[in-house]
Chain A
Amino acid sequence: MKKTNFWAWLWIVLGAVYFFLPLYGTLDFSLREQRGILSLLAYQNVLNDPHFRNSFAFSATMAAATIVIGLLLIVPTAYWVHLRLPQARPIVEFITLLPFVVPAIVLVFGFIRIYSGPPLALTNSAETTNILLMFGYIVVALPYTYRSVDAGLRAIDVRTLTEAAQSLGAGWFTVLFRIIFPNLRVALLSSAFLTFAIVVGEFTLANLLNRPAFGPYMVLLGQDRAYEPAALSIMSFALTWAAIGLIQWFSRGAQGQGQLAGTR
């Protein structure tokens, strides 16, 4: 074995240990609720907890709304920039980078300052707070969604597709929803899964806007139980793995699609 090979293997093994050890530790820990034997009791407790089901359902619904509204907002915008307004690209790209500059904790602070009083008192009722939360999620996911859609649009010939559809008599609605959206399905599915993973595990926005989401539920459970949080951790890891796995499976062959995101 060559010397360089030895060092390369050493770093890879160290990386693998750092990656797998906490997962193995968590899995082992989550199975030890009953003293002396391995059992799935912690998982049963979590799954039978109505708060778990309610908060997960709430977050999953929020994620679905975020994906649909977010894509309806971002795909036509990115499409329009590609087709008609290339001069608007720097402004739009700048805006899509801003969520990195304004962390979630700062964003929610601004939301509370603006929307907890007149003229737009959105935080006064649960329904309008949910809407505010959804738009907050769209902001958090914006950089990833926009990039994914933009990369998808670069890969297809937007202009030719649009002109072909229009010369066959299609209106803008038909062009967008029957030509552009289907042609972008890989990019759309990638960003949808990523958004789902981000929203379901999100804690900061939901907690400070006082909504009964999955993230705050996990923290509450972590404060008074020992084994159930480990079980939850394994379950959310499986969820992240599924989301990323599906993204990589859908976008296999596509270059430079390394998506990085998350709520820290």
Chain B
Amino acid sequence: MSQAVRIETRGAPLARPVTRKISWAWLGLAPFFLFAILFLLWPSSSLIIGGFQDPTGNFTLKNISDLFTPSILNSYGLSIQISAVTAIAGALFGFLLAYAAILGGLPRWIRTALMTLCGVASNFAGVPLAFAFIATLGRTGFLTAFLRNTFGFDPYQVGFNLYNFWGLALTYMYFQFPLMVLIMAPALDGLKHEWREASENLGANSWQYWRYIALPILLPSLLGAMILLFGNAFGAYATAYALTGGTLNLITISIGQQIAGNVLYNPNLGYALALGMIVIMAVCIGGYTWLQSRTARWLR
């Protein structure tokens, strides 16, 4: 905002006639808006509209009501479950890690190393990540073989399977908790020493400090980060596809099958599937942005 005010008061550009300035200035953004319309807004709005049309182009709500059939609800449910599980577990583990590195009294280099590793790990996703977990925890993977040969313990004998829900969740965790560390580190840095000292001077113990001061301040960024983690897993396609070969019926996998035409082909139902995803993602990102703006108040 201060930028805007300063520009207004500087004067020089205002010397031109006002109407002409406005039209020319907006023209400078024309390439960007053209790009955004052609490759982002038009394609996604065409799916939203397509979700409300029948194959001949007439308005209908049938596709939307068809979303509430068991198999499609299962798809959404599975995606929501895996996103929620990895968001909560990732947030918990990521928070503890960030807390340990920043406020745990460890040497400074631990923190630097952790941030670098998390930067790498949160970007190491998709097909290579799936391969890494297959090589490590697959039926003949390194860790599976090690456990079997050394301890006579076969994880696959006791119900573990990398290619089902929990295996995929374990794989998603590899990019989930580092993301949490990266988001929480600035928020934990924002906890001022003075607050703790002030609360101790007033006789608060450690639990009271956390319950009444630190946690309320951190809560918006904690929740915001969890929402972001949720969306992060919800939109994932490549990792799940490469790991399970499309056998796990996630919503992204279903949409991929619709595009490839491998299922009973009803494009308009496919558009409605995509519409459902857009709605869920929009709620996530909207919630995240709102919580972020609440956090910003304390992080000065």
A127–B38 Cα distance when bound, in Å, is: 18
Residues of B within 8 A of A171 (CB): none
Please report which residues of chain A, range 13-35, place their CB below 8 angstroms from some CB of chain B when the two chains form the complex. 14-16, 18-19, 21-26, 28-30
Known contacts A8-B105, A197-B123; is-contact A85 B256 (Cβ 8 Å):
no
Most chain A CB inside 10 Å of its own CB: which residue of B7, B39, B238, B271 = B238
**Are B135 and A244 touching (Cβ within 8 A)?**
no
Binding site for A on B (CB under 8 A): 3-4, 7, 10, 12-13, 25-26, 28-29, 31-32, 35-36, 38-44, 46-47, 50, 93, 96-97, 99-101, 104-106, 110, 114-117, 119-137, 140-143, 172-175, 177-179, 182-183, 185-186, 231-239, 241-242, 245, 252, 255-256, 258-260, 267, 270-271, 274, 277-278, 281-282, 285, 289
**Are B114 and A15 touching (Cβ within 8 A)?**
yes
Kindly report which residue of chain A lies nearest to residue B178, judged by CB atoms.
A19
Residues of B within 8 A of A219 (CB): 127, 241-242
Q: Does A139 contact B (CB under 8 A)?
A: yes
Residues of B within 8 A of A105 (CB): 235, 237, 252, 255-256, 259, 277
Q: Which of A10, A215, A233 contacts B132 (CB under 8 A)?
A: A233
**Are A109 and B270 touching (Cβ within 8 A)?**
yes
A95–B33 Cα distance when bound, in Å, is: 9
Q: Which of A9, A97, A201 contacts B126 (CB under 8 A)?
A: A201
A113–B119 Cα distance when bound, in Å, is: 35
**Are B100 and A28 touching (Cβ within 8 A)?**
no
Kindly report which residue of chain B lies nearest to residue A2, judged by CB atoms.
B105
Kindly report which residue of chain A lies nearest to residue B176, judged by CB atoms.
A264
Q: Which of A22, A106, A202 contacts B47 (CB under 8 A)?
A: A106
Residues of A within 8 A of B46 (CB): 110, 113-114
**Are B106 and A9 touching (Cβ within 8 A)?**
yes
Please classify the interface of chain A as helix (H, G, I), strand (E, B), loop, or mixed, using the class held by over half of its residues.
Answer: helix
Please classify the interface of chain B as helix (H, G, I), strand (E, B), loop, or mixed, using the class held by over half of its residues.
Answer: helix
A35–B213 Cα distance when bound, in Å, is: 59
Q: Does A155 contact B (CB under 8 A)?
A: no
- Beyond the given pairs A26-B131, A84-B25, 20 more chain A to chain B contacts, judged by CB atoms under 8 angstroms and listed by A's residue number, are A4-B104, A22-B133, A22-B136, A26-B142, A80-B28, A92-B32, A98-B41, A100-B285, A105-B235, A106-B255, A111-B39, A113-B47, A135-B35, A203-B126, A203-B237, A215-B126, A248-B116, A258-B186, A259-B119, A260-B122
A241–B93 Cα distance when bound, in Å, is: 23
Please encode chain A, from 169 to 210, with 1 for each CB lying within 8 Å of some chain B CB and 0 for all others: 000000000000000000000000010011001111000100
A20–B239 Cα distance when bound, in Å, is: 19
**Are A103 and B252 touching (Cβ within 8 A)?**
yes
Known contacts A29-B142, A244-B116; is-contact A264 B97 (Cβ 8 Å):
no
Q: Does A50 contact B (CB under 8 A)?
A: no
Please encode chain A, from 105 to 143, with 1 for each CB lying within 8 Å of some chain B CB and 0 for all others: 111111111100000000000000000100110110010
Most chain A CB inside 10 Å of its own CB: which residue of B35, B127, B235 = B127
